[in-house]
Structure 1
Amino acid sequence: MNGLCDLEVDVNGEQIFFLHKNIISSYCGKIRNLFDKSKGVTTNLKVILHDFPGGPESFELVSRFCYNNGKVVINPYNAHRLLCAAYYLEMNETVNGSHNLLEQTKKSIEEIKFWSWSELLSALKSSLDLVLVSSSSQILKKCLDSIVVRLVFTSETSPSCPSSSSPESSVIRLSTDSKSTESLRSGLLRSTWWFEDLVNILTPNLVKLLVNSIILHKFDHGVTSRFLFYYQKSRFFDASSDEKLEIIETSIDCLSLLDQISVSCKSLFGILRVALKLNVNKVQRNILECMIGSKLDQATLDNLLVPSPHGSNYLYDVNLVLQFVKHFLTAKSGTGVVISELNKVARLIDSYAAEVAPDPRLKPCKFLALINALPQSTRDSYDDIYHAINIYLQVHTSLSDDEKTKILNSLDYMKLSSESCNHLTQNDKLPPRFAALALKAQQCKLENLFRGLEGQKGYVLPPHQLVATTKDDERREQVVIYAQQVVPYEGKEDIVHENEKMKAQLQGMQWRVVELEKVCRNMQTQMTKILKSKLSRQTSVKSLPRLCS
């Protein structure tokens, strides 16, 4: 055996192969070059290969190729190993007229489009320990591209596949439309059938390559985002802390590459809570905050109630919500603001402000920043803001007059309802001058209303008046004093009488509006019946046999 096998090859310190020097060196340029440098040495030949791709299993395939006169069966299960080994051993020369291993392997990989789905998966599995080898990148890219092409083809040929323009719309429809439940569920299964096949194979690095290929081939971004969320949850079960961090950061990076319309806001908040626990780096956190901020109008109050960071003495992370609002305004400033979206966010922030207001450790500057985070034009009503302010002032009784003034100056008194204004005038926690501002705002709204009615049925605009409806006589006097400073107190007519007349006028208008609405509904019902009768007559005429028409 020693006479025939004159070469000892140590592969990565894992296994030793005894081979014939001339046979191996004739095909492997790297080993041949080693012998050329050590001329004169003919005995005890030993070669140590470090970091050989694929280890002993791949080297055994190479040995069989050499001993079989440059012939080997190349298939999807070994192509990756053979390609990396051929690069490593410099097997790029033709011997005895046969093609070299590198050329044969490349030619086989060109046929990857004819590989079956299971063969593609096997090729991916065999590449897991070769990802760091630069020569493996080309087959990895071809394999992933071929997988994405298959996914694109199946999505185009599968009927009844629901649209993914809204990632949460299909879930809503599944729960509301019983007739289409079965077809939608089967459509979702058709679009996600590949999740389980890939989730246990792909490393975070391969996920990045897959998403890049998906974007290149314009595969469905909605399905892709669902896969990324599924991948993150599935791989977390048996992952270490470092692996979880790599998975979550990869998921964030990949989600940011997709069309954000196709990414679920609810799922992003799920990613956020995990990311905060793992303490992801600032880059990925900022990316995630931007994505959530851009679709803040889709969020709910529960989504925003994120606990404060560890070590903080306040309950909820108000700074995080302020960042969301900032990113929302930035995103909408570039694409054009939709009023309905702004109104939704305003209502959401108002509810959030009322929720965090009872926190005794929430500083006035943070609360003030929260209620002023959105422009005044985004709110049709300031009742919710007043409600939040009232709660905050009740809890934070030690605030200075200056701090109270800054907070109360954030109110737009013209957008307070009469109920809120009445409550404000009776709120003994507030300085009287703010009750006077509320009264002034109410007076202005009434004047605007009566200007619109002026001239109808001989109505005359009432005099400029203010009314303080408080239970405490002493506070009423203070409110009236401040009110007289805001606007002159004019007229000597009976205030109560004028108010009753005003209420009667408004009630009369409301009654007439209700009557008009009833008349309109009756007319619409009659028109609908007439149209239906006409259509039925036309249909019956058209359906008659030709001889009878």
Structure 2
Amino acid sequence: MAGMKMGAKFEAFHREGQTWLCTTGLPSDVTIEVGDMSFLLHKFPLISRKITALNVVSLRCAAEYLQMTEDCGEGNLIAKAEAFLDEVFSNWTDSKKALETCEEVEPYAEDLHIISRCIDSLAVKAYSDPNLFNLPEAGDKSLQSPWGTVLWNGIYSEIKPPATGDDWWYEEVSSLSLYLYKRLILAIEAKGMKLETIAASIIYYCSRYLPLMNRQSSFSETNHVNSGTTMAATSEADQRALLEEIRKLEKRVGAQLDQAVLVDLLIPNMGYSVETLYDIDCVQRILDYFMSIYKAAAESSSPCIIEEGQLISGTDTLTPLTMVANLVDGYLAEVAPDVNLKLLKFQALAAVVPDYARPLDDGIYHAIDVYLKAHPWLTDSEREQLCRLMNCQKLSLEASAHAAQNERLPLRVIVQVLFFEQLRLRTSISGWFFVSDNLDNTQNPSGHLGPPQK
């Protein structure tokens, strides 16, 4: 977009070097005296010569502040700026440029609804066919030279044509600030964009600003991206807003944790002082949110609770908690080989899930066994503390047989496993004899033990 020229008498002046000279006999509007020197200035050279997408927002806000309406004069600045904004909103690139400049005058641009109009313009174009607003097709061979460059009007250019799939706008909007990007995504979602496409855009945006998201990128590429972003100079308010967004996201994940699978919880640790491979603290917070929601729901439904804390309400109420317990056990087994995983952190995460949530303790036993194998330097006291997370009575026959021969377990735990295994065997034998006696009594109700008489 070329822009709109301003100033009715621009032809009355010419420029020599850095000095504007009046070619007509117009009187000066401003006189500045410095010592014995007088500088005669005119207002027309001080007026912006052209309205562009980069200055139209500032001009519109300034015109509103100065009340430059049609009542003061025909063709005043407000009318000119509004007319040019209408042209800006018809073009994707200019709409994006105008939106980026809104941050400089955000309160005024918000009051004049310029931000919302820019966002609505971009949202409509992102949801629509990009060919409707003059974006070249990536697959159009007539626009490309044999070397892959684009051909416009017979001129070779190194500019690559943008893709016209659903993801063509990802890179375009990734330069927006988090505040503007969030508003744009909400507007695009309201237009009916597929959630998969929106999620892919968010991943692309995060990969540009978050470290280690793209581990395969070269060091030079990373430096190039970081130098072009404003994250290094993020204000304290923006950081607080970002942390608040992360907290809200973790709560939303925690509210539906029973629907997650193991791979969903394997969140890479993005911190600069990386201790563990995966972000254990994040999973801990998500699990805490889930348990707080579950306990609140359980209290509101007033289930019957026995002394051990076991819920004896219906099976359906235990299902989400049991699913989360199995998920946590699988997660613990996955992160247990990490030698940097501290014992206290492992215990804290495992202890969040109550004992009654696990019908069997095979999962937590497997996680404990993996942790002991990866941390052979643990003392006997630490091993016993770790094994208190499982209930030996709730091990299956296969797990009990494995634990009875597991040299990594403390001796006291092995003795407990053998004791409960023997108790289970004795109970089974007693039950077998009880059933056998009842069967004999049924077949021989008279109690005669000899062979039947003929």
Tell me which amino acid in the other structure corresponds to 2:105: V
Check 1:18–1:84 CA distance in 2 against 1; reply closer, same or farther (3 A cut). Answer: farther
**Candidates 16, 41, 44, aligned match of 1:46:** 41
User: After superposition, what is the alpha-carbon deviation per residue over 1:512-539, rounded to whole angstroms, capped at 9, x for unaligned?
Assistant: xxxxxxxxxxxxxxxxxxxxxxxxxxxx
Note the C-alpha offset of 1:375: 2.0
**Structure 2 residue corresponding to 1:211, chosen from 168, 180, 185:** 185
Q: Which segments of 5 or more consecutive residues in structure 1 lack a partner in the other structure?
A: 26-30, 50-54, 63-74, 155-188, 257-280, 462-549
Instruction: Return the alpha-carbon distance in structure 1 between the equivalents of residues 27 and 103 of structure 2.
Output: 26
Q: 2:288 aligns with which of 326, 346, 355?
A: 326
Q: 1:288 deviation in Å?
A: 5.3
RMSD between aligned residues: 5.6
Query: CA 1:424–1:194 in 2, change beyond 3 Å: closer, same or farther?
Result: closer
Q: 1:142 aligns to what?
A: 117
CA distance in 1, matches of 2:272, 2:125: 46
Change (3 A) 1:45 1:363: same
Matched residues in 2 for 1:379 and 1:283: separation? 33
Matched residue type, 2:354:
P
CA distance in 1, matches of 2:75, 2:282: 62
Q: Is the 8 A contact 1:120 1:147 kept in 2?
A: yes
Give the match for residue 153 of structure 2.
none
The answer (yes or no) to whether the contact 2:88–2:94 under 8 Å persists in 1 is no
Counterpart selection for 2:226 from 220, 226, 240: 240
Distance 1:103 1:118, change over 3 A: closer
For residues 308 and 383 of structure 1, do their structure 2 counterparts lie closer, same or farther at Cα, with a shift above 3 Å needed? farther
Question: Are the structure 2 counterparts of residues 290 and 400 from structure 1 closer, same or farther at C-alpha, using a change threshold of 3 Å?
Answer: same
Partner residue in 2 for 1:437: 416
Please say if 1:385 is aligned against 2:364: yes
Instruction: Kindly state the Cα deviation for residue 402 of structure 1 after the two structures are TM-superposed.
Output: 4.0
Which residue does 1:102 correspond to in 2? 78
Identify which of 56, 60, 64 aligns with 2:49: 60
* 1:102 alignment partner, SS class: helix
> Helix, strand or coil for the counterpart of 1:381?
coil
Deviation at 1:416, TM superposition (A): 0.9
2:203 equivalent to 1:229: yes
Structure 1 residues 201 and 315: alpha-carbon distance in aligned structure 2, compared to 1, 3 A threshold? closer
Query: 1 CA distance for matches of 2:54 and 2:231?
Result: 31
Matched with 2:169 is 195
Normalising by structure 1, what TM-score? 0.49
SS at match of 2:49: helix
Q: Distance in 1 between matches of 2:371 and 2:201?
A: 43
Q: Give the aligned partner of residue 105 of structure 2.
A: 133
The CA distance in 1 between the partners of 2:97 and 2:192, in whole Å, is 25
CA contact (8 A) 2:174 2:181 kept: no
Partners in 2 of 1:194 and 1:342 — Cα distance? 42
Work out the CA distance in 1 between the residues paired with 2:197 and 2:317.
Answer: 27
Deviations 1:312-333 (A, max 9, x none): 6666554443233223434555
Q: How does 1:131-530 map to 2 (within 5 A)?
A: 131-134=103-106, 135-137=108-110, 138-149=113-124, 192=166, 195-196=169-170, 198-199=172-173, 202-214=176-188, 222-233=196-207, 238-240=224-226, 243=229, 245=231, 283=244, 286-287=247-248, 289-290=250-251, 292-294=253-255, 296=257, 297-301=259-263, 304=266, 306=268, 311=273, 317-330=279-292, 342-359=321-338, 362-394=341-373, 396=375, 399-431=378-410, 433-439=412-418, 441-442=420-421, 443-444=423-424, 447=427, 458-459=438-439
State whether residues 95 and 121 of structure 2, in contact with CA within 8 Å, keep that contact through their aligned partners in structure 1: no
Which letter maps to 1:86? A
- Pick closer, same or farther for the CA change 1:95–1:370 going to 2, 3 Å: closer
The DSSP-based 3-state class of the residue aligned with 1:370 is: helix
Query: Measured at CA, do residues 380 and 242 of structure 1 come closer, stay the same or move farther in structure 2, by a change above 3 Å?
Result: farther
* C-alpha contact 1:86 1:102 (8 A) present in aligned 2: yes
Deviation by residue 1:38-83 (Cα, 9 ceiling, x = unmatched):
9xxxx7333799xxxxx98x71148xxxxxxxxxxxx989864652
Contact 1:293 1:324 in 2 (8 A): yes
Q: CA 1:143–1:347 in 2, change beyond 3 Å: closer, same or farther?
A: same
Larger Rg over CA atoms = 1
**Contact 2:126 2:169 survives alignment (8 Å):** no
Change (3 A) 1:366 1:48: farther
- Note if contact 1:350-1:371 (Cα within 8 Å) is conserved in structure 2: yes
d(CA) in 1 for partners of 2:253, 2:285: 10
Q: How many residues align?
A: 359
Q: Residues 340 and 45 from structure 1, CA distance in 2 versus in 1: closer, same or farther, beyond 3 angstroms?
A: farther
Structure 2: runs of 5 or more not aligned: 1-8, 130-162, 211-220, 299-315, 442-454
Aligned partner of residue 45 in structure 1, secondary structure: strand
Q: Is 1:83 equivalent to 2:60 in the alignment?
A: yes
CA distance in 2, matches of 1:455, 1:427: 35
For the residue of structure 2 that corresponds to 1:427, the secondary structure is coil
Change (3 A) 1:377 1:340: same
Residues 130, 287 of structure 1: CA spacing in aligned structure 2 closer, same or farther, 3 A cutoff?
closer
For the residue of structure 2 that corresponds to 1:59, the secondary structure is coil
Going from structure 1 to structure 2, the CA distance change for 1:127 and 1:326 (only over 3 Å counts) comes to closer
Q: TM-score, normalised by structure 2?
A: 0.57
With 403-412 and 343-352 compared, the bigger mean Cα shift is at: 343-352
Amino acid at match of 2:118: C
Instruction: Classify 1:378/1:219 alpha carbon distance in 2 versus 1 (closer, same or farther; 3 Å).
Output: same
Report the residue type matching 1:119 in the other structure. N
**Cα 1:451–1:107 shift into 2, 3 Å:** farther
